[in-house]
């Protein structure tokens, strides 16, 4: 009947075409400062410490400023903005708050754009999803262990994006960006309850054309990675970052090249140029990178004849074959980096099984020896958490010796020396409550 047909809505009045239901129609790109202007100066690799999340906070602060008029950018997190070292944002923004106010309140306002006044991961991540679905931009920052609370929410968003990619009429929206801080590797006061890197495993199983995993090893890499993620559309991007003082490895120009490729040989940490390596050291994550480099420095000093190739991974999906993930390396590219016949010691931020899963189909998968988190540690010194999980420099040197049979008895004495160091470490922290000076004050040197 014509009169019934006339009741059907048209154009944007249709529920599927309503801009609030197809938020990509409303999407306006962020005005972005140049992330290179926030670079940490690195003249010598590892000679200077910095706090990655503090540097990112300065960048985010100025994103707020540039987009104040459009008002299409917010950050979300469960009561942890200061703890995650994003303090700089409070120079220009406040927390959103619509209840009673007191003179002692810390940056609360009814028009605040920092959504962290509630200790609820579900609520904050849900707010962000709704914000993105209506055509705006933002990110969610939380303690790494408690990202697990929003496992199913992130999974459903990833599934929704997968289906949207098959619908031509569905406009793209800004990516769901999740930053994991307060990571497993340093527990000054929270302890075992705050140690769980398993969110990466959860995300890694989602559709390859939707999910991304990044582990920047220092401030400049974090800035480059975040700039890429916050500009992207229709992804779930997970960034695992450090908030504690850590050595700064790469200059900004080096970081941009490294992050653009997602994986690469650090020639300044390798000594196999023009020769066959005896062993490959690989790492992903800021703490595993630090310990892998420290292990290499010991081997260079004690066994200079051993040829070592050092590889750092920022984009974890580079490890998968290109047939399984769009970011994956081809077999030829992977073999050039990791070789097909040399042992690889991979120091990893999360559970070792994830690296084995990603590299299962590679030619040298039986030569891949992964060290990662294995559910050990609590409130103790930073280095002791690493020791308890065997990702520390002394265990890594011992691991390397096991796979270098040509060393013969020369390796035996260094193996014993490392065992002695592990005992010395335990005795020292028991007596003084802090790490060995040679560990706490260690600085990279190739010799």
How big is the CA angle at 140 (ends 199 and 218), to the nearest 5 degrees? 75
Q: Which CATH number fits domain 262-434: 3.40.50.920, 3.40.50.1240, 3.40.1180.10, 3.10.129.10?
A: 3.40.50.920
**What's the rounded Cα separation, in Å, for the pair 8 and 107?**
48
Q: What is the 3-state secondary structure (H, E, C) of 61-74?
A: HHHHHHCCCCCCEE
pTM (2 d.p.): 0.95
* φ/ψ of residue 7, rounded to 5: -75, -20
Task: Please list the rounded mean pLDDT of every run of 10 residues in the chain (447 residues).
Answer: 92 84 93 98 96 97 96 92 94 94 90 91 96 96 94 96 92 97 83 90 95 98 98 98 95 98 98 96 98 98 96 98 96 97 97 97 95 93 96 98 88 95 98 96 89
Token representation of residue 119: 């200790």
Domains 38-97+106-246 and 262-434 share a fold: yes
Question: What's the pLDDT score for residue 101?
Answer: 87
Question: What's the pLDDT score for residue 334?
Answer: 98
Question: What's the pLDDT score for residue 288?
Answer: 98
CATH code for 38-97+106-246? 3.40.50.970
**What residue segments make up the domains of the chain, in order of their start?**
38-97+106-246, 262-434
| Sign of the Cα pseudo-torsion (221, 224, 227, 232, in order) | negative
């Amino acid at each position: 009947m014509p009169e019934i047909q006339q009741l059907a809505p048209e154009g944007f009045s249709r529920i599927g075409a309503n801009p609030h239901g197809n938020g990509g129609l409303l999407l306006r790109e962020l005005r972005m400062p140049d992330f290179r202007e926030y670079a940490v100066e690195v003249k010598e690799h590892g000679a200077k410490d910095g706090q990655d999340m503090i540097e990112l906070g300065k960048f985010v602060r100025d994103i707020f400023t540039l987009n104040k008029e459009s008002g299409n950018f917010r950050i979300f997190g469960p009561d942890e903005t200061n703890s995650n070292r994003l303090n700089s944002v409070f120079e220009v923004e406040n927390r959103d708050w619509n209840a009673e106010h007191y003179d002692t309140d810390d940056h609360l306002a009814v028009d605040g754009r920092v959504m962290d006044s509630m200790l609820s991961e579900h609520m904050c991540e849900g707010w962000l999803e709704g914000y993105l679905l209506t055509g705006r931009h933002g990110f969610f920052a939380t303690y790494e262990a408690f990202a697990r609370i929003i496992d199913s929410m992130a999974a459903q968003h990833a599934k929704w994006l997968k289906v949207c990619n098959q619908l031509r009429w569905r406009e793209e929206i800004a990516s769901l960006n999740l930053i994991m801080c307060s990571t497993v590797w340093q527990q000054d006061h929270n302890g075992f309850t705050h140690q769980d890197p398993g969110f990466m495993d959860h995300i890694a199983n989602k559709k390859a054309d939707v999910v991304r995993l990044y582990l920047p090893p220092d401030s400049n890499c974090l800035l480059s990675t975040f700039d890429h993620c916050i500009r992207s559309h229709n992804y779930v991007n997970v960034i695992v970052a450090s908030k504690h003082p850590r050595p700064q490895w790469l200059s900004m120009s080096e970081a941009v090249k490294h992050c653009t490729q997602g994986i690469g040989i650090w020639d300044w940490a390798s000594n196999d140029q023009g020769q066959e390596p005896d062993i490959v050291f690989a790492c992903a994550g800021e703490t595993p990178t630090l310990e892998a480099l420290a292990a290499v420095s010991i081997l260079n000093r004690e066994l200079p004849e051993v040829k070592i190739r050092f590889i750092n991974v920022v984009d974890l999906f580079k490890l998968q074959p290109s047939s399984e993930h769009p970011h994956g390396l081809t077999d030829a590219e992977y073999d050039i980096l990791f070789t097909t016949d040399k042992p690889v010691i991979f120091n990893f931020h999360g559970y070792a099984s994830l690296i084995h899963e990603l590299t299962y189909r590679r030619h040298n998968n039986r030569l891949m020896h992964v060290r990662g988190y294995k559910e050990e540690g609590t409130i103790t010194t930073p280095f002791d958490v690493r020791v308890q999980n065997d990702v520390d420099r002394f265990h890594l040197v011992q691991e390397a010796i096991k796979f270098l049979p040509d060393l013969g008895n020369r390796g035996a004495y260094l193996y014993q020396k490392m065992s002695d160091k592990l005992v010395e470490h335990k005795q020292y922290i028991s007596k003084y409550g802090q790490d060995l000076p040679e560990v706490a004050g260690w600085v990279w040197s190739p010799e």
